[in-house]
Amino acid sequence: MRILLTNDDGINAPGLYVLEKIAAQLSDDIWICAPSEEQSGAGHSLTLTRPVRMRQHAERRFSVSGTPTDSVTMALKKILPAPPDLILSGVNRGANMGDDVTYSGTVSAAFEGALAGIRAVALSQVYAREGVGNAVDFSAAEAWGAKVLKPLLDMPFAPRTLINVNFPPVAAGEVKGVRVARQGFHDYARGSVVEGTDPRGFPYYWFGLHGIEHTAGSNTDLEAIAGGYVSVTPLQIDLTHEGSLDQLTDLYRA
Nearer to Mn ion, 8 or 221 (CB): 8
β-bridge mates for residue 211, sequence order: none
Query: How many residues belong to the site for Mn ion (CB under 5 A)?
Result: 4
Residue 9 annotated in ligand binding: yes
Nearer to Mn ion, 131 or 227 (CB): 131
Helix %, strand %, coil % for the chain, to 5? 30, 25, 45
What residues between 91 and 120 interact with Mn ion by CB under 5 A?
92
Nearer to Mn ion, 104 or 157 (CB): 104
**What's the CA angle centered on 145, arms 141 and 150, to 5 degrees?**
170
Q: How far is the CB of 211 from Mn ion (least distance, A)?
A: 18
Q: At what angle do helices 14-24 and 139-153 cross, to 10 degrees?
A: 40
Give residue 243's Cα distance to chain centre.
27
Q: Is 9 in the site for Mn ion (CB under 5 A)?
A: yes
Q: How far is the CB of 125 from Mn ion (least distance, A)?
A: 10
What residues between 63 and 92 interact with Mn ion by CB under 5 A?
92
Q: How far is the CB of 41 from Mn ion (least distance, A)?
A: 8
- Do residues 214 and 185 make contact, with C-beta atoms less than 8 angstroms apart? yes
Residue 8 annotated in ligand binding: yes
Q: Is 223 in the site for Mn ion (CB under 5 A)?
A: no
Closest CA to 149 of 121, 113, 168: 121
Spell out the residues 6+ positions from residue 134 whose beta carbon is closer than 8 angstroms to its own.
none
Q: How far is the CB of 174 from Mn ion (least distance, A)?
A: 24
- Do residues 85 and 149 make contact, with C-beta atoms less than 8 angstroms apart? no
Q: Is 8 in the site for Mn ion (CB under 5 A)?
A: yes
Q: How far is the CB of 8 from Mn ion (least distance, A)?
A: 4
Rg of the chain taking only CA atoms, in angstroms: 19
CA distance 72 to 87: 9
CA distance 17 to 75: 18
Residue nearest to Mn ion (CB): 40
Nearer to Mn ion, 157 or 164 (CB): 164
One residue of 40, 69, 73, 108 binding Mn ion per CB under 5 A: 40
Binding-site entries for a divalent metal cation: 8-9, 40, 92
Note the residues at the interface with Mn ion (CB under 5 A): 8-9, 40, 92
